[in-house]
Structure 1
Amino acid sequence: MSERATDTRWLQAMPWVFVLIWSTGFIVARYGMPYAPPMKFLAVRYALSILCFLPWIWWAGVRWPGDRRQTLHLAVTGVLMHAAYLGGVWAAVKAGMGSGLSALVVGIQPVLTAVWLSSVGGQAVSRRQWTGLLLGFAGLVLVVSRKFGSGGPGDQANWLNLSFALLALLAITAGTLYQKRFVKPCDVRTANTVQLAAALLVTLPLALLEAEPMQWNAELAGAMAWSVLGLTLGGSSLLYLLIQRGAAASVASLMYLVPPCTALIAWLLFGEPITVVTVAGIALTAFGVSLVVRVPKPVG
Structure 2
Amino acid sequence: MTLPQNQTHPLIWPIVAAALVVSWSSGFVGIRYASENADVMLVLFWRTLLSGLILLPFALLIGPRIGARALIQQMMFGVATMFLYLGGFALAIGQRVPTGLVALISDLVPLAIAALSQPVLGQRLSGRQWIGTALGVTGVLIVSLDSLTLGTAPVWAYVLTVASMMVLALATVVQKRLGTINMPIHQSLCIQCLTASVLFAACSGWNGGLMPPLDTRFEFGMAWLVLFSTFFCYGVYYMSLRRYSAAQVSSAVYLSPPMTMLWAWLIFGEPLSTAMFLGLAMTLFGVWLTSSRGALHRRTARLGSCEQPVG
User: 1:55-134 counterparts in 2 under 5 A?
Assistant: 55-57=57-59, 61-117=61-117, 120-134=120-134
Taking a change above 3 Å as real, the CA distance of residues 265 and 142 of structure 1, as seen in their structure-2 partners, is: same
**Alpha carbons 2:112, 2:166 under 8 Å: kept:** no
Gaps of 5+ in 1: none
Taking a change above 3 Å as real, the CA distance of residues 287 and 251 of structure 1, as seen in their structure-2 partners, is: same
Give 1:65 shift.
4.5
Give 1:278 shift.
1.1
d(CA) in 2 for partners of 1:243 and 1:255?
A: 12
Three-state SS of the structure 1 residue aligned to 2:124 is: coil
Three-state SS of the structure 2 residue aligned to 1:273 is: coil
Residue 40 (str. 1) matches residue 42 (str. 2): yes
Taking a change above 3 Å as real, the CA distance of residues 106 and 129 of structure 1, as seen in their structure-2 partners, is: same
Taking a change above 3 Å as real, the CA distance of residues 102 and 156 of structure 1, as seen in their structure-2 partners, is: farther
Query: Could you tell me which residue of structure 2 aligns to residue 287 of structure 1?
Result: 285
Give 1:237 shift.
2.7
Q: In structure 1, what residue type is equivalent to 2:44?
A: L
**TM-score, reference length from structure 2:** 0.83
Give 1:157 shift.
4.1
Give 1:74 shift.
0.9
Residue 195 (str. 1) matches residue 195 (str. 2): no
Query: Could you tell me which residue of structure 2 aligns to residue 234 of structure 1?
Result: 232
d(CA) in 2 for partners of 1:216 and 1:163?
A: 33
Query: Could you tell me which residue of structure 1 aligns to residue 218 of structure 2?
Result: 220
Aligned residues: 288
Give 1:275 shift.
0.8
Give 1:5 shift.
4.8
Q: What is the root-mean-square deviation in Å for CA atoms of aligned residues?
A: 2.6
**Alpha carbons 1:15, 1:250 under 8 Å: kept:** no
Q: In structure 2, what residue type is equivalent to 1:265?
A: W
Give 1:280 shift.
0.9
**Alpha carbons 2:79, 2:196 under 8 Å: kept:** yes
Structure 1 consecutive aligned stretches of length 4 or more whose deviation exceeds 6 Å? none
d(CA) in 2 for partners of 1:258 and 1:77?
A: 24
Taking a change above 3 Å as real, the CA distance of residues 237 and 192 of structure 1, as seen in their structure-2 partners, is: same
**Alpha carbons 1:88, 1:168 under 8 Å: kept:** yes
**Alpha carbons 1:136, 1:286 under 8 Å: kept:** yes
d(CA) in 2 for partners of 1:276 and 1:142?
A: 10
Three-state SS of the structure 2 residue aligned to 1:48 is: helix
Query: Could you tell me which residue of structure 1 aligns to residue 259 of structure 2?
Result: 261
Give 1:210 shift.
0.8
Higher deviation after alignment, 31-40 or 173-182 = 173-182
Higher deviation after alignment, 234-243 or 129-138 = 234-243
Taking a change above 3 Å as real, the CA distance of residues 237 and 256 of structure 1, as seen in their structure-2 partners, is: closer
Q: In structure 2, what residue type is equivalent to 1:45?
A: R
Taking a change above 3 Å as real, the CA distance of residues 80 and 189 of structure 1, as seen in their structure-2 partners, is: same
d(CA) in 2 for partners of 1:45 and 1:6?
A: 35
Q: Deviations over 1:186-231 (max 9, x none)?
A: 2111111111121122221111001387433222211111111112
Query: Could you tell me which residue of structure 1 aligns to residue 269 of structure 2?
Result: 271
Q: In structure 1, what residue type is equivalent to 2:235?
A: S
Three-state SS of the structure 2 residue aligned to 1:89 is: helix
**Alpha carbons 1:37, 1:214 under 8 Å: kept:** no
**Alpha carbons 2:120, 2:174 under 8 Å: kept:** no
d(CA) in 1 for partners of 2:125 and 2:272?
A: 34
Query: Could you tell me which residue of structure 1 aligns to residue 147 of structure 2?
Result: 147
Gaps of 5+ in 2: 1-5, 296-311
Give 1:118 shift.
5.2
User: 1:164-183 counterparts in 2 under 5 A?
Assistant: 164-181=160-177, 182-183=179-180
Taking a change above 3 Å as real, the CA distance of residues 180 and 254 of structure 1, as seen in their structure-2 partners, is: farther
**Alpha carbons 1:188, 1:237 under 8 Å: kept:** no
Q: In structure 1, what residue type is equivalent to 2:170?
A: A
Taking a change above 3 Å as real, the CA distance of residues 141 and 207 of structure 1, as seen in their structure-2 partners, is: same
Give 1:94 shift.
1.0
Taking a change above 3 Å as real, the CA distance of residues 16 and 123 of structure 1, as seen in their structure-2 partners, is: farther
d(CA) in 2 for partners of 1:238 and 1:223?
A: 20
